[in-house]
Structure 1
């Protein structure tokens, strides 16, 4: 229970950590958005291409990091699609 409480407290204080317009995406959100598998996301994380952080056992991505990743590693149309979706 203490671990869950600490995780919840860290989520509650995200306004102090993130920019006002920044959102968090989890694996499911990002896999759907990029149209890739969870395994592909894992490869991006392991290679250091896609920044992430974990709360408990759940992986999260900052939207600004996702934008930068897509800009650097994907085509322009994918970048425009992601920009409009975020």
Structure 2
């Protein structure tokens, strides 16, 4: 997983894509994205760990979606989410 280049702020990390004004190009990995905030988190060290399996996610909403789809029976047993 590429990290945020040293000294590069969130706003400096993205450039408007030449192919489409609705897309942004990440200067860290070159990927074109529509949501800079969501993409930015893949380059940070913070990870959310699944309490039921070894899966980890860079965003808490992705972890919650994983738990709802992969561990639904555990949710009802624990009474969370």
Alignment TM-score, normalising by the size of structure 2: 0.35
More relative contact order, 1 or 2 (CA 8 Å, 6+ apart) = 1
Instruction: Identify, as 1 or 2, the structure richer in helix.
Output: 1
Alignment TM-score, normalising by the size of structure 1: 0.34
